[in-house]
Amino acid sequence: MSRANLLDRRSVVASLLADRGNAIVVGGLGASTYDIAAVGDHDRNFYLWGAMGGAVMIGLGVALAQPKLPVVVITGDGEMLMGMGSLATVGLQKPENLTIVVLDNEVYGETGGQASHTAATVDLVGIARSCGISDARALATMAEIEAFAAGLQNVASGPRFASVKIDSANLERVLSSRDGQFTLTRIRGALGFSPI
């Protein structure tokens, strides 16, 4: 895809979460978390402020613990590259309620915009498929994003993986609470558990 045809990251995330229902959404380090917060803070958002490479594994744990709820991980290419081994575990465990979306701007946005490996030879969709995630695809248009979003509530056909090429615009950071205890207590309450 030419750099001129890349999608706007905030529009992609807004479309994905427009009809999120009761989905639990795990945001990866940095921009993906800001994008989720920009759509609107939610009791079922779990933001990772400093756990680079951990979003998919946290999402997997939540999906296994809450198999009747849709779990959506939204992360970036840099974090996915750092936690690539997590795709093998997802492929082995096959949680049917887990969806992973990688916002791929082909740069390490949190460390200065250096080119990531996805700008060269790394094919995240191919890696996901080779790890056993059969529903792995690249999404290139907003129509494809909307069609994919319609299936996020399905808890019986995953795991699903999508890579979305987005522009590398440096957008305003939209911050939710960065208090880990608050975030954890809030999501536990939203799921019906007592505070810890």
Length reported for the chain: 196
Higher-confidence position of 87 and 177: 87
Instruction: Note the pLDDT tens digit of each residue in 47-99.
Output: 887 677 789 999 999 999 999 999 999 998 888 888 889 999 999 999 999 99
Q: Which of 4-8, 13-17, 189-193 shows the lowest mean pLDDT across its residues?
A: 4-8
pLDDT band at 1 (very low <50, low <70, confident <90, very high): very low
Q: What is the rounded radius of gyration, in angstroms, for the C-alpha atoms of the chain?
A: 15
- Identity of the amino acid at 73: V
Distances, alpha carbon 24 to alpha carbons 4, 20, 21, 34, 160, in Å: 33, 9, 9, 16, 15
pLDDT at 171 over 70: no
Instruction: Note the pLDDT tens digit of each residue in 125-170.
Output: 999 999 999 999 999 999 999 999 999 999 999 999 999 998 876 6
pLDDT at 92: 97
pLDDT at 118 over 80: no
Task: Count the alpha carbons within 13 Å of 166 in the hemisphere toward its beta carbon.
Answer: 29
pTM: 0.88
Higher-confidence position of 67 and 109: 67
